[in-house]
Structure 1
C-alpha cells in the first residue's frame, strides 16, 4: 500500500482531495483522473462550437468584439457598454479575445476555416510581433465574420472555466463507472487472452 501524499508538497492538498473523492465515490483514482480529463475537454469543445454557431446565427460576433474594443477618448463615457469596457471583466474578456484570435488564425490556416486558405503560412514575425498583431486586431475591433464569431466563442468558453471544472469534477465519478471502467475491463480481458 502506498503512503499518503505529503501535505507539505506543492500538490499535496490536491492529491488528498482526489484521494478522498476516489474513496467517497468508490472510483479508482486513475479512472477518475482520465474521466475528469475527457470531460474537461468535452466541456471546452461543446461550448466553443455552440457559442460559435450561436454567434454566427445571430450575427453578433463582430458587434461584441466592437463593443468591447477600447475607444480612444471614451474615458468617462457613460452607459453600460462603456462601463463594461472599462471594467476588469472587459479587460479580461479582451485578453481572452486576443488568445482566441491567435487560435482562430492557427486553426483557420491549418484547416482552411474562417476565411483562411488551407495550409497558408502566417506572416514571418517574431512571437512578440505576432502577439502585438493579434492584440491590435482585437483592440481596434478589426475582426470580422467567422473569425469574430470564433474569438467570441473562445472568450465565452474561457469565462466558463470555473463552471466547466466543477461540472467535470461532479460528472467524473459516474462517467468513470459508466464508460471508463467498462472499457478498461474489456481491454484488460483482451490483453489477458492474448498473453495466454
Structure 2
C-alpha cells in the first residue's frame, strides 16, 4: 500500500502557489504554468543524469542499493548497527526502498524501450527473468549501470521539494525572458498567415 497522495492532491499546493506568484509578479498564469513545467522537468533531467554519471564514476550504485535494501552479515538483532543500519531500518530507508523499487521499474522500462543498460531494444521481460535479474547476469558493468540508474532515480525523487521550490522561484523570470516572447512571436506568425 502506497502512502503517496493522488497527483491532483499532491499538486494543489503548487497550483495555489502559482496563482499567488502570478498575481504578485503580474505574469500571466498560463505562461507561468508552462515555465514552471519546463523548469521542473529540467531540474529532473540534469540531476538524474548528474547522479547517474557520478554514481557510475565512483562505482557506488551497487553498494548504495545493497546498503539500503539488504541487511549486512554483521547486522545482528538487538544490536545498534550504526547510522547506516538505523537509516536502512527507519522511515527514510523505507521511503528509499520504495523509490528504488519504483526506479527499478522505470529503469527496466526505459532500458527495454531504448536498448540501454544492457537490455535488448524493444524486448519484453521473459517469464523466468525477475525484474532486473536478466540484465544483472549479462555482465557486472550492466548490473552496475542498472544500480546507478536506480540510485539516480531515488536521489532525484529525494530532491523533489528542492526542485519544486527552485521551479517556483525561477518560473516568473523564465516566463518573462523566454516563454512570453516566444509566445508573442508565434502569435505574430499565425496572425500574418491568416
TM-score over 0.5 for the pair? yes
Partner of 2:168: 169
Partner of 1:76: 78
Partner of 1:52: 52
What's the offset of the Cα at 1:69?
1.4
* 1:18 to 2:18 alignment: yes
Distance 1:15 1:155 in 2: 25
Q: Contact 2:108/2:131 (CA < 8 Å) preserved in 1? A: no
The TM-score normalised by the length of structure 1 is 0.81
1:63–1:17 Cα change, 3 Å: closer
Partner of 1:98: 101
1:157–1:85 Cα change, 3 Å: same
Q: Contact 2:18/2:168 (CA < 8 Å) preserved in 1? A: no
What's the offset of the Cα at 1:76?
3.2
Partner of 1:35: 35
The TM-score normalised by the length of structure 2 is 0.81
Partner of 1:118: 121
Q: Contact 1:98/1:135 (CA < 8 Å) preserved in 2? A: no
Q: Which deviations, in whole Å up to 9, do the C-alpha atoms of 1:50-97 show, x marking residues without a partner?
A: 000000000000000011113287443421211111111011001100
What's the offset of the Cα at 1:118?
1.1
Q: Which deviations, in whole Å up to 9, do the C-alpha atoms of 1:18-37 show, x marking residues without a partner?
A: 33211211110000000001
Distance 1:12 1:164 in 2: 16
Partner of 1:186: 185
Q: Which deviations, in whole Å up to 9, do the C-alpha atoms of 1:122-150 show, x marking residues without a partner?
A: 1359xxxx9xx54999xxxxx93100000
> What is the root-mean-square deviation in Å for CA atoms of aligned residues?
2.7
Secondary structure, counterpart of 2:70 in structure 1: coil
1:169–1:184 Cα change, 3 Å: same
Distance 2:92 2:178 in 1: 38
Distance 2:118 2:132 in 1: 19
Structure 2 unaligned blocks of 5 or more: 1-8, 135-141
Structure 1 unaligned blocks of 5 or more: 1-9, 138-142
